[in-house]
Amino acid sequence: MALNSKTLKLKPVGVLDIGSNSIRLVVYQSRSRALMPVFNERVICGIGRGLQKTGRLDPKGVKRAFKCLPRFAALTKAMEINDLSIFATAATREAKDGKKFISEVEKLFKRSVKQLDEQQETRLGASGIICGTPDADGITGDLGGGSLELARVDKGIFKSGGSLPLGHLRLLSDLGSRKVPLKRRIDNIIEETPWLSDMNGFRFFYAFGGAWRAIARLHIAQSGYPLRVVHNYSMKADIALDFCQVIGGLSQASLPLDESISSQRAASLPVSALIMHRLIRELSPHEIIFSALGIREGILFERLKKSEQTSDPLIIACHDIAIRESRFIPGSNKLFNWVDPLFFEEGSEMKRLRLSVCLLADIGWHEHPDYRAEQVFFRILRLPLIAVTHEEKAALALAVYRRYGGNMESKSLSVINKLLDKNHIDWSIKLGNAIRLAETLSGGQLDLLDGSNLRASNKKVHLKVDRSISSLVSDVVRNRLAQLAEQMNRSYQLSIK
């Protein structure tokens, strides 16, 4: 039975984030463990600018906010977003007129706005990291315009955390862009926060918030990294320390920017780099991992049932894509089990990736045959998949590329050679070739695989086919088997019994 997008009954869910510096509306395809954004728009308003001096929200920022908020209200109505969460963070929490601002937003959207306190903001940000990295273990850091939230997470469980008055907008509003006063203020706040000593020495620091993501984008561009994806982009601590020191010492005008970073965001880059630089020195992590997920995803994650929270978001996302885009009802388990004898030494993480590949194996059928492999390859590399490293995503993309017969000499694979070692490349090619054989033998009707089995020894790859389905065996099937065996440095045998 052919499937189409109507097979999934999706109810979109939205989150409106009212921050000190920006207001952002994100709409997701559904309230799922594997959140897939379908709309994402941000407006820099700066309602928290000058708050420490006046005690009130910035009038110009408030005016900009109520210029963009009616648009967001109209969009959520047109999109039929009945499930809309609205929350506000540091600026409205601290301002004398913060409650008045929130009241006006509630009138506009005809629903309540959740004013987060410091502990809620810290916990929800950490939950966003856990949503995207289920086994997150270390310190999470959410840099916003008004504050910095730090939390300790232990193998996917939030333990503790706190908030510091180190928002980039707050510092710039108080001190301008003068480096010496900025560094002194950052030093003083960190030195006067005794609980930071409990966060020292963990391997990973998970950084999020728009300003820190901009630092990741800048480093990706400057270093020539092959994949322009911020989520799960990582930097060794010493490299991050040096880079932040350089960026922190520059003026906005001298920053080496590209089109991925707006001029509005660029204004906060140097001070955001100074904050990260000082934190790395204080906390001594081994590695900085940047996350595209944060407090917005944390809010939706905490609304899931416990059983849903512990499910694998990568498998769920790949399954949802397969349901929408495969020609037939996905038979990923049949495919997974059929190729399993070739991967008997595989660990649990690679089994997880193999299942993901089996789910995605048929999503390129509607592409033009001459471009099918390359189109699917780049699509998988750029999909907003979570709970997967860049290296793992590259392995997925390469396996499906080879499943569609992609040319291993193509220049398009330069990204693979920079991200994967030989063992992972061989794994992906072997899996792609095996799935290609299975799809050719069965014509995509994977129930037909029940009459065959694939085995491998040290010298031979052996395909046995039941006589009842012997008519499925063709010269193309023999060629696919030969390609698989050759790649594995083995001979092949085809038996019909």
Which CATH code, of 3.20.20.70, 3.90.1150.10, 3.30.420.40, 3.40.50.2300, is assigned to 5-116? 3.30.420.40
Percent of the chain with pLDDT over 90: 90
pLDDT of residue 5: 39
Q: In the predicted model, is pLDDT for residue 7 greater than 80?
A: no
Percent of the chain with pLDDT over 70: 98
Q: At what angle do helices 390-403 and 348-360 cross, to 10 degrees?
A: 50
Average pLDDT over residues 424-430: 97
Confidence class of residue 10 from pLDDT cuts 50, 70 and 90? confident
pLDDT tens digit string along 116-147? Answer: 999 999 999 999 999 999 999 999 999 999 99
pLDDT of residue 153: 98
pLDDT tens digit string along 193-204? Answer: 999 999 999 999
Q: In the predicted model, is pLDDT for residue 353 greater than 80?
A: yes
Which CATH code, of 3.40.50.300, 3.30.420.150, 3.20.20.60, 3.65.10.10, is assigned to 119-297? 3.30.420.150
Q: Which residues pair with 205 in a beta bridge?
A: 139, 288
pLDDT tens digit string along 207-218? Answer: 999 999 999 999
pLDDT of residue 63: 97
Residues 165 and 117: their CA atoms lie apart, in Å, by 13
pLDDT of residue 422: 95
Q: In the predicted model, is pLDDT for residue 6 greater than 70?
A: no
pLDDT tens digit string along 57-112? Answer: 999 999 999 999 999 999 999 999 999 999 999 999 999 999 999 999 999 999 99
Q: In the predicted model, is pLDDT for residue 2 greater than 60?
A: no
Confidence class of residue 330 from pLDDT cuts 50, 70 and 90? confident
Looking at every residue in the chain, the average pLDDT score rounds to 94
104-118, 168-182, 228-242: least confident range: 168-182
Indicate the domain borders of the chain: 5-116, 119-297, 312-496
pLDDT of residue 159: 97
Tokens of 459: 């010298």
HSE, CB side, 13 Å, CA atoms: give it for residue 78.
Answer: 7
Q: In the predicted model, is pLDDT for residue 365 greater than 50?
A: yes
CB-based burial, 116-143: b 16+ in 10 Å, e otherwise: bebebbbbbbbbbbbbbbbebebbbbbb
pLDDT of residue 64: 97
Phi, psi of 164 (to 5 degrees): -120, 145
What architecture is domain 312-496? Orthogonal Bundle (1.10)
Residue 491, Ramachandran bin (φ over 0: left; ψ between -120 and 50: alpha; else beta):
beta
pLDDT of residue 139: 98
DSSP single-letter state for residue 9: -
Contact 26, 14 (CB under 8 A): yes
Tokens of 350: 């690679």
Q: In the predicted model, is pLDDT for residue 1 greater than 50?
A: no
Tokens of 471: 């008519």
pLDDT of residue 358: 96
**Would you list the DSSP string of 317-380?**
HHHHHHHHH-SSS--HHHHHHHHGGGGTT--HHHHHHHHHHHHHTTTTTTS-TTTHHHHHHHHH
Radius of gyration of the chain (CA): 26
Contact 23, 68 (CB under 8 A): yes
pLDDT of residue 331: 74
Contact 132, 387 (CB under 8 A): yes
pLDDT of residue 9: 62
pLDDT tens digit string along 437-494? Answer: 999 999 999 999 999 999 999 999 999 999 999 999 999 999 999 999 999 999 999 9
Contact 484, 461 (CB under 8 A): yes
pLDDT tens digit string along 260-312? Answer: 677 778 889 999 999 999 999 999 999 999 999 999 999 999 999 999 999 99
Residues 486 and 479: their CA atoms lie apart, in Å, by 10
Confidence class of residue 382 from pLDDT cuts 50, 70 and 90? very high
Average pLDDT over residues 317-343: 90
Confirm whether 119-297 and 312-496 share one CATH topology: no
Handedness of CA 399, 402, 404, 409 (dihedral sign): positive
Confidence class of residue 345 from pLDDT cuts 50, 70 and 90? confident
pLDDT of residue 82: 95
pLDDT of residue 264: 74
